[in-house]
């Protein structure tokens, strides 16, 4: 486990960042879909 972490170093951080960016984009679109179809809010075209 430790060897892998040491060997990958910065790559792991960069991969995590891009992975997080992808997750944020995905969650943002899901949230937008939920908000647009939410029964609690009036549907207003944007």
* pLDDT, mean of each 10-residue run, the chain (46 residues): 56 82 94 83 59
In a domain, residue 41? The reply is no
The confidence score (pLDDT) of residue 35 equals 86
Q: Is 10 inside any structural domain? A: yes
Q: How many domains does the chain have?
A: 1
Whether 6 maps to a domain, the answer reads yes
The pLDDT value recorded for residue 31 is 92
Please report whether residue 42 resides in a domain.
no
The answer to the question of residue 25 being in a domain is yes
Under the phi-then-psi rule, with left for phi > 0, alpha for psi from -120 to 50, and beta for the rest, what region is 44? beta
Provide the whole-model pTM. 0.49
Compute the distance between CA of residue 17 and CA of residue 5 in angstroms, rounded to an integer: 16
Residues contacting residue 5 through CB under 8 Å, at least 6 positions apart: 12
What per-residue confidence (pLDDT) applies to 5?
A: 56
- Domain of residue 24 covers 2-36
Residue 15 three-state SS? helix
**Alpha-carbon gap, residue 44 to 15, rounded angstroms:** 37
Residue 45 belongs to a domain: no
Find tokens 């995590």 and name the residue.
16
Q: Is residue 28 part of a domain?
A: yes
């Amino acid at each position: 486990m430790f060897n892998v972490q040491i060997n990958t170093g910065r790559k792991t951080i960069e991969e995590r960042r891009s992975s997080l960016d992808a997750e944020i984009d995905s969650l943002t679109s899901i949230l937008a879909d939920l908000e647009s179809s939410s029964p609690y809010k009036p549907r207003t075209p944007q």
